A and B are shown apart, each in its own frame.
Chain A
Amino acid sequence: MNYIIQDVALTLLPERAIFWKDRGMLIVADAHIGKVSHFRKNGIPVPGMAERNNLWRLSGLVMKTKPEQIVFLGDLSHSKLNRAWDQFVDFRAAYEDIEMVLVKGNHDILSNHSFDAARIKLVDDLKAGPFLLTHDREESELYNIHGHIHPAIRLRGKGRQSLRVPCYFFGKDYGILPSFGDFTGSYTLKPIEGDAVFVPGEKETIRVF
C-alpha cells in the first residue's frame, strides 16, 4: 500500500515497516532487539525462538526491499547488552553496504561504543525531505514521523464484531509507525476526522480510516 504524504510516496509494508522507494530508505521503529534475551537472562522463560524471528524478519525485509539506508526510529535495542545484540551485529555485518542510522530511543541504553562498533550511526533526530524522523513526537515545522507509541486501533463491525490490531497512524502533522518487534505490546489510539489509519494484514496493508 502506497500512501502519499507531503507529496512523497511511502510504502506501508505489511511487515510493519515503511519503505521510501525514491530514497531507498527503509524505516523501522521499535524493534526491541534483545527483549526476549533480557527476559531469559532474568529467569523468565520466553521462547528463545521469538528473538531469532525478529532478525529473520528484518533480513527478509532487507532482501525484499534492497534499501540503501535503514533508519531505526528508536528502541532498536531493549535493554542492557546481551547476546541477542551480538546476533544483530552479525546481521549488520552481513549488509555492510547499507547505511544504518539509529534515532536514539528511551530503551537504547547501550553505550555509544556498542553502536559505533556495529557501525550504527547514532543521531537525536534526522531531517529527510519534508520529514523529521524521531523516536517520540516532537514539535517541528516539518512533518514528524516517529515510533515509541506502538499504535493499535480498535475496529468495530456489524454483528458487534470487534478487533484490536497494530496500525500505521497519520495525523495532521505527525505519522506513527507500528512496532516492528514481536513480543512488544501496543497502545490503542482513536482517530479523528482528517487522520489516516492503515492496518498491516498478513499479505497486504489495508486502509481503514
Chain B
Amino acid sequence: MSELKVAEDWFKSKGWKSFEFQKDAWRACLKRESGLLNAPTGSGKTYALFAGVVLEYLKAEKEGKLKKKKGLKLIWVTPIRALTKDIKNACQNFCDDLDLPWKIAIRTGDTSTSDRAKQKRTPPDVLITTPESMHLLMASKGYADYFGTLRFVVADEWHELMGSKRAVLLELALSRLKAIADPCIWGISATIGNMEQAMEVLFGTDFGTKNLRFIKSEIKKKIEILPIIPEEIEKYPWAGHLGVKLAESVLPILEKSRTTLIFTNTRSQAELWYQHLLNIKPELAGLIAMHHGSISRELRDWVEDALHEGKLKCVVCTSSLDLGVDFRPVETIIQIGSPKGVARFVQRAGRSGHSPGERSVIYFLPTNALQLIECEALKAAIIKDDLEDRMPYIRSFDVLVQYLITLAVSDGFKPKEILPEIKSTFSFESISSDEWAWALNFITKGGSSLEAYDEFSKVEVMEDGLHKVNNRRMAMRHRLSIGAIVSDAMLMVKFQSGGYLGSIEEWFISRLTPGDTFWFAGRPLELIRVKEMTVHVKISKSKKGAVPSWQGGRMPLSSMLSENLRIQIGKIANDQFDSAELRAVRPIVDAQKSLSMVPGTNELLIEKLNSREGCHIFVYPFEGRFVHEGLASLLAYRLSHFRPFSFSIALNDYGFELLSDQDIPIEDGVDSNILSLDHLSEDIAASLNQSEMARRRFRDISGISGLVFKGFPGHYQKEKHLQSSSQLFFDVFRDYEPTNLLFKQAFSEVMEFQIEEVRLRSALKRIASQEIRITYPEKPTPFCFPILVDRLRERMSSEKLEDRIKKMTLQLES
C-alpha cells in the first residue's frame, strides 16, 4: 500500500485531485528531506506540506520510531498574522477528517497572555507563528525542551520574508532549532527572480553540502491587464498619487463583478479612496470595507470573514491583503497607481480568478498621466516573465545583537557553542573573529568604553562562561522589543465608550488638538484626548477631516520595471505609439517634446530651469527612486568641487532634481565628465557623509539593536529617563565611536539597499555610453513637474554651517 494513500484518499473524499507537486512534497517529507516548494498562492501548497508532515509522523509512529508522542511536531512560520487563522483551519480540517487528535495553536503578537501560558505548559502539536514570536519563545526559560520534539519547520511565503531583516531573524532561529532538534526544513515561495538564492538564504551553509529538494508546481495563471484610461488626458494631472479623479470610472467595474479588491500603495490612500467611493455612491454603505495593517485585528477578521462569505461588494486594501488564502468571491482586482514592481502586480492580480485555468483580471488605474506608460511596461515585463530579485540582508549586526541578548535572557549561551550555529547562517557566514568579539563586547561591556569605573550592565559573563541577563527589568524590556520591524511610536485608537479601532502613529496625532476630526478605519473621528499611549475618540459629525499618512509608502520602482519603462520611453521618443495606453498619453508626450524633449534609448536628458526658488537641474535616468537618490547625492557631491553648495534634492522613479539658491554649473560638470565611473566608490562614500541617508537607516538599526526603546501600543513606557531618539544616538556614535559596527552598518545598508551600488554602477555605465542632452525649458515640463512639486526633500550641503545660517536668517518661517 502506498504511503501516500491516506492523503490521496482525503483529497478524493473532498472531490479534489492531488497535483504532482503535492505528491512530490509528500514523498520528500516521508524521506525526511528538506527543501523549497515553489508554488503560488491558492495552489494547494499548504496541503502539499502539511499532509506530508502528517504522513511522515504516521509512518514513524507505525514503525515505532517515535521516542515521545507528546510535544511540538511542526512549526509553521508565516510573515503575517492575517494568514495564521486560515492555515490553522486548513490543518484542522485535515486532522479532523483523519481522526488525528493534534492540537493546532496560533502564537502571534495578538495571542493573549493566558493562551501563551497554556501553550507553554502543554505544547501544541502544531504551532503557527511568526519569526518574532519564535524569538520570543527562545527568550523564555526551558525553550530547548519545548522545541526538543520538533520534526518539521515550514517557512511559508519565504519570498516575502527574504527581502527583510525578518529573514535574518528566521535564519538565526533555524540555526538554533537545528542544533536542538534537527527538524526537516521547508520553504514555500512564490516565483522570484533569484529562486536559487532564496534556497541558499534559507539553508545557509547546508546549501551545497546537504541534499536539498526543489519542487516546483506546474500551475501558472494567465493575467489580463486592463488600463483605466482617463477620458480627457489633457486635463488629467501630470503629478499625483491619489487618483480619486478617476473614481467614477471604477463604479461600473464594481457593478459588473461579484467582489472587487481595490489595492492602494499606502494606508492613507486606502482611507481616502474608501471615503471617496462612499461619497460618490452612498448605496455602497455596508457593502464596502477597508483593510490595512493599522486597523485592529477584530475589524480585519470581520472584513476577511465577510469576504469569504461574499457579503462585500468591494474592499479597499493595502499590501495587507497581498498574501494569504483565496477569497473565492473575488472576481476583479483594481490597482491604484504604480505597483512599483512586476512580482507585486502579479501577486495582486492572482487574488482573482481561482479555479485552475481561469484568468486573473486586474485593472490598472493611473494616478497621473505618465503612469500609463508604466502600465505598458508592466504588460511587457509580465509577458517576458521578468520578475524581481529579492535582496537578502547579510551581516545585520543589529539583529545579531538582539538575538544574542534573547538567548542570554532565557537560559544563557556559551559563545563557543553558539558561534558555529551563527556562522552556519547565510547572513553571518562571513562574520570575522573581530566582529564576533565586538558583538560580545557590545552586549557585555557596552562597546569600546575604556573607563575603568564604567557601570555598564546588561549581559553578565558567569564563571563557567555562560552569558546571561540576570536583571529582570532588563529582560522584560528586551522581550518587549524583540523583532525586526521598527515603526514609529504607535498609539492605540479607542472609542471613549470602549472598543479598539487600531493603532496610529504618534506624530500624526501630535499635530491634532482635541475637537479636531480625522479619518481612521473608514470613519470620521473626533479627538477627545490623548492619555498615556491611548487616543480616545468618538464618532464625529463632521465629514471633513485630516487623513493620517502612514510613512513607508515610497517604494522604489524595481529594476525590472525600470528596464521595461525605459524601453517604452524609447518607443515614444521615436513616435512609436503602438498601444492604447501609449496613444492615450500622446498629448502629454507632445507637450514634453515641445517644451523639452523625450530622450531616446541612447540619450540622457537633463533639464535646467530657473525659478524664484533658484536653479533647478532635472536628470532622467529612469532607474527608480533608490538609484536616483544615490545618483543625486553623487552629482551633488561632485558639483561641490566647483564651489560649496547647498542643495535640496527631490526625486521620483523617472528622475531627480537638484535645487540650489545659486546657479548650478551643470554644463561645466558635463564637460568635466561628472557622471563618470572614476573614483566612484570613494565619491559615493564621501557623498554619504554629507547626505542624510545613513541617518535614516540608523533609525531601524537603533530600534532592532535595543538602543531606542519605544514600547508598544498600550504599553506605556514608565522609564522616562531612558527615552532617547535614534538621531541622538547617530550623533554620539558619529562623534565618539564611529567604528561601532551598528553605526557602520547604516552606511553599508545604504550602499546595498538604498543606493544599490550594483545598480548604480550599471546605470552609470549605461549613461557613459549615452549622449547627454541639456534642454532649457521655459516652464515646467510633464517630466519634471511631479518632481518639482514634491515637498519631501533631502538636503545636502558642502557650505559651512555659519554661512548656511546667515543665508537663511531673513527667511525664517512665520
Pair B735/A50 contact, Cβ less than 8 Å: yes
B437 interface residue per 8 A CB criterion: no
**In the complex, chain A residues whose CB is within 8 Å of the CB of B613:** 158-160
Question: B805 contacts which of A47, A49, A182, A208 (Cβ < 8 Å)?
Answer: A208
Pair A107/B661 contact, Cβ less than 8 Å: no
State which of A22-30, A132-140, A198-206 sits at the interface with chain B: A198-206
Q: How far is the CA of A77 from the CA of B552 in the complex (A)?
A: 38
B732 interface residue per 8 A CB criterion: yes
State which of A2-10, A123-131, A184-192 sits at the interface with chain B: A184-192
**In the complex, chain B residues whose CB is within 8 Å of the CB of A207:** 809
Interface centre among A35, A157, A159, A190 (most CB of B within 10 A): A159
Interface centre among A41, A157, A158, A161 (most CB of B within 10 A): A161
Pair B811/A155 contact, Cβ less than 8 Å: yes
A38 interface residue per 8 A CB criterion: yes
Q: How far is the CA of A153 from the CA of B458 in the complex (A)?
A: 37
**In the complex, chain B residues whose CB is within 8 Å of the CB of A37:** 455
Within 8 A of B (CB), among A59-105: 78-79, 82-83
State which of B238-246, B446-454, B577-585 sits at the interface with chain A: B446-454
State which of B33-41, B251-259, B360-368, B723-731 sits at the interface with chain A: B723-731
Q: Which residue of B lies closest to A188 (CB)?
A: B813
**In the complex, what's the smallest C-beta–C-beta distance from A112 to chain B, in angstroms?**
19
B614 interface residue per 8 A CB criterion: yes
**In the complex, chain A residues whose CB is within 8 Å of the CB of B16:** none
Within 8 A of B (CB), among A29-59: 35-50, 52-53
A162 interface residue per 8 A CB criterion: yes
Within 8 A of A (CB), among B606-624: 613-615
Q: How far is the CA of A52 from the CA of B448 in the complex (A)?
A: 14
B679 interface residue per 8 A CB criterion: no
Q: How far is the CA of A60 from the CA of B800 in the complex (A)?
A: 24
Question: B807 contacts which of A82, A153, A157 (Cβ < 8 Å)?
Answer: A157
**In the complex, chain A residues whose CB is within 8 Å of the CB of B805:** 155, 163, 165, 199, 201, 206, 208
Pair B736/A45 contact, Cβ less than 8 Å: no
Pair A206/B809 contact, Cβ less than 8 Å: yes
Pair B614/A45 contact, Cβ less than 8 Å: no
Q: A41-B457, A48-B454 are in contact. Are A157 and B735 (CB under 8 A)?
A: no
**In the complex, what's the smallest C-beta–C-beta distance from B391 to chain A, in angstroms?**
29
Pair B808/A157 contact, Cβ less than 8 Å: yes
Pair A40/B802 contact, Cβ less than 8 Å: no
A172 interface residue per 8 A CB criterion: no
**In the complex, chain B residues whose CB is within 8 Å of the CB of A83:** 453-455
Question: A159 contacts which of B446, B457, B614, B706 (Cβ < 8 Å)?
Answer: B614
Q: Which residue of B lies closest to A165 (CB)?
A: B805
**In the complex, chain A residues whose CB is within 8 Å of the CB of B725:** 185
B646 interface residue per 8 A CB criterion: yes
Q: How far is the CA of A154 from the CA of B795 in the complex (A)?
A: 14
Pair B737/A157 contact, Cβ less than 8 Å: no
B560 interface residue per 8 A CB criterion: no
Pair B732/A160 contact, Cβ less than 8 Å: no
Q: A159-B659, A161-B646, A185-B728 are in contact. Are A40 and B454 (CB under 8 A)?
A: yes
A113 interface residue per 8 A CB criterion: no
B812 interface residue per 8 A CB criterion: yes
Pair A40/B449 contact, Cβ less than 8 Å: yes
Q: How far is the CA of A140 from the CA of B446 in the complex (A)?
A: 46
**In the complex, what's the smallest C-beta–C-beta distance from A93 to chain B, in angstroms?**
17
Pair B456/A47 contact, Cβ less than 8 Å: no
Pair A53/B736 contact, Cβ less than 8 Å: yes
**In the complex, what's the smallest C-beta–C-beta distance from A71 to chain B, in angstroms?**
24
Q: Which residue of B lies closest to A46 (CB)?
A: B732
B707 interface residue per 8 A CB criterion: yes
**In the complex, chain A residues whose CB is within 8 Å of the CB of B729:** 46
Pair A158/B455 contact, Cβ less than 8 Å: no
B1 interface residue per 8 A CB criterion: no
**In the complex, what's the smallest C-beta–C-beta distance from B396 to chain A, in angstroms?**
17
**In the complex, what's the smallest C-beta–C-beta distance from A106 to chain B, in angstroms?**
10
**In the complex, chain A residues whose CB is within 8 Å of the CB of B446:** 40, 43-46, 48
Pair B724/A41 contact, Cβ less than 8 Å: no
Q: How far is the CA of A45 from the CA of B648 in the complex (A)?
A: 34
B806 interface residue per 8 A CB criterion: yes
Q: A39-B722, A40-B455, A209-B812 are in contact. Are A203 and B802 (CB under 8 A)?
A: yes
Q: How far is the CA of A159 from the CA of B811 in the complex (A)?
A: 11
Pair A157/B661 contact, Cβ less than 8 Å: yes
A-contact bits for B356-395, CB 8 A (1 contact / 0 none):
0000000000000000000000000000000000000000
Q: A40-B456, A45-B446 are in contact. Are A161 and B728 (CB under 8 A)?
A: no
Interface CB pairs A-B, < 8 A, 24:
A37-B455, A40-B457, A42-B719, A43-B706, A45-B449, A47-B732, A47-B735, A47-B736, A48-B447, A49-B736, A83-B453, A83-B455, A155-B812, A156-B811, A158-B614, A158-B811, A159-B659, A160-B648, A161-B804, A162-B793, A183-B728, A202-B802, A206-B802, A208-B809
Which residue numbers of A lie inside 8 Å of B, CB to CB?
A: 35-50, 52-53, 78-79, 82-83, 107, 153-163, 165, 182-185, 190-191, 197, 199, 201-204, 206-209
Which residue numbers of B lie inside 8 Å of A, CB to CB?
A: 442, 446-451, 453-458, 471, 474, 477, 613-615, 646-648, 659-662, 706-707, 709, 719, 721-722, 724-725, 727-729, 731-733, 735-737, 740, 793, 795, 797, 800-802, 804-809, 811-813
13 extra interface residue pairs, beta carbon distance < 8 Å, beyond A47-B732, A206-B806:
A42-B457, A44-B446, A47-B447, A47-B733, A47-B736, A53-B735, A82-B455, A153-B812, A156-B811, A159-B646, A159-B648, A163-B808, A206-B809
